[in-house]
Amino acid sequence: MELRRLGRTDIRVSAVALGVMTFGSKTPEEDAFRQLDMAFAAGINLFDTAENYPAPVLAQTQGRSEEILGRWIASRGVRSRVLVATKVAGPGNAAGDMTHIRGVDRRLDRANIIAAVDGSLRRLGTDYIDLYQVHWPERPITTLRRSHFSHIPDAPTLVPVEETLSALGEVVAAGKVRNIGVANETSWGVMHYLALAHERGLPRIVTIQNSYSLLDRQFEAGLAEIAMREQVGLLAYSPLARGLLTGKYLDANQSVPGRDRFSQRRLSATAAYVDLANRHGLQPAIMALAFARQKPFMTSVLMAASDVAQLEGNLRSLDVSLAKELLKEIDALHEQSPNPR
């Protein structure tokens, strides 16, 4: 397994990580343990979760993903050999109704961050978190999930990034967190975190966790340069575009659950990538995962599998390196249909 530098630290992380957002819901604990064993045996040392997981977000299951990961680490005695990444939930209900997590006043302020860190430490059964991430920004400006820019004025009660970063600095100083990162952020957000860290002597973010795949290369417009020049590497989630890039949703004659959530533009672009993979003798999912892994701004590609068989198939991408000619063909398809929605 290739190991890559985590930000500007001396920590080395596997080029592929395991996301455990289904553990405790779609993935029962016994199967989760098998996935974790398989990933660890393959050389994966980074395991990513969040305080609000598993998905779908429900009050009765909240925190189970962290608990399962923590029980696996303890049972295998591997705490010093793995890197645990988790996240603090921001305000609002971006991932469903989350009022069960610190109520309606859940913010990215000092009190919430300290409570969230302590809760995650307890569920994980550990004394420290290797990478603690802000799951999404507090401010209501985002272009991440839209095809155009939209602006909503800041609320008077908006918690400034400086307060969030100061609170993160406090948990780092206390030894509860080793490194910090952000997720679902914009170019302005990342640079603002970095500027504040420099100006105020606060911890520097080491990663950004955003969506990235053959169908979603928005990260390349601004954030990729920041990632490389500032050593704030990408942890890419949804590299298979919610399963679309496996090709399983393409047969219009089959009633596949979830197919209707994808637009015709996305389905058409996916069909082109699937055809390209087939012509090169590759499984579409393996081509998609290898493509993401080979990007120079990539720290680690997050794989998430609902079962062992799916993870086993995804791990085969570790042995694949895409040739320059194939990468050129991929770029040509991207030019024809960039970031289809």
Higher pLDDT, 122 or 1: 122
Q: What is the mean pLDDT of residues 267-271?
A: 95
DSSP string for residues in 150-206? ---PPPTTPPPHHHHHHHHHHHHHTTSEEEEEEES--HHHHHHHHHHHHHHTPPPEE
Dist CA 233 CA 227 (whole Å): 5
pLDDT digits (tens, 9 = 90+) for 37-94: 999 999 999 999 999 999 888 888 899 999 999 999 999 999 999 999 999 998 876 6
Q: How many helices (H) and strands (E) does the chain have?
A: 10, 10
pLDDT confidence band for 151 (50 / 70 / 90)? confident
Of 253, 276, 254, the residue nearest 337 (C-alpha): 276
3-class secondary-structure state, position 234? strand
Q: What is the mean pLDDT of residues 200-228?
A: 97
3-class secondary-structure state, position 11? coil
> Does 237 have pLDDT greater than 90?
yes
> Tokens representing 253?
């004659």
Dist CA 310 CA 239 (whole Å): 14
3-class secondary-structure state, position 79? helix
Dist CA 141 CA 164 (whole Å): 17
> Does 307 have pLDDT greater than 60?
yes
Neighbours of 68 (CB within 10 A): 25
Answer whether 161's CB lies under 8 Å from 129's CB.
Answer: no
pLDDT digits (tens, 9 = 90+) for 157-210: 899 999 999 999 999 999 999 999 999 999 999 999 999 999 999 999 999 999
Q: What is the mean pLDDT of residues 322-332?
A: 98
Answer whether 227's CB lies under 8 Å from 233's CB.
Answer: yes
pLDDT for 145 = 57
Degrees (nearest 5) of the Cα angle 58, 63, 68? 125
Instruction: Determine what percent of the chain is predicted with pLDDT higher than 70.
Output: 94
pLDDT for 94 = 62
Answer whether 178's CB lies under 8 Å from 129's CB.
Answer: yes
Higher pLDDT, 40 or 155: 40
pLDDT for 216 = 96
**Cα dist. 86→124, 226, 286 in Å?**
10, 23, 26
User: Residue 143 contacts by C-beta under 8 Å, 6 or more apart in sequence?
Assistant: 149, 150, 186
Dist CA 27 CA 35 (whole Å): 10
Higher pLDDT, 77 or 147: 77
Q: Are strands 46-48 and 83-88 parallel, antiparallel or unpaired?
A: parallel
Q: What is the mean pLDDT of residues 124-135?
A: 98
Q: Is 94 exposed, middle or buried (0-12, 13-18, 19+ CB in 10 A)?
A: middle
Residues identified as active-site: 53
Instruction: Determine what percent of the chain is predicted with pLDDT higher than 90.
Output: 79
Q: What is the mean pLDDT of residues 1-30?
A: 95
pLDDT confidence band for 120 (50 / 70 / 90)? very high
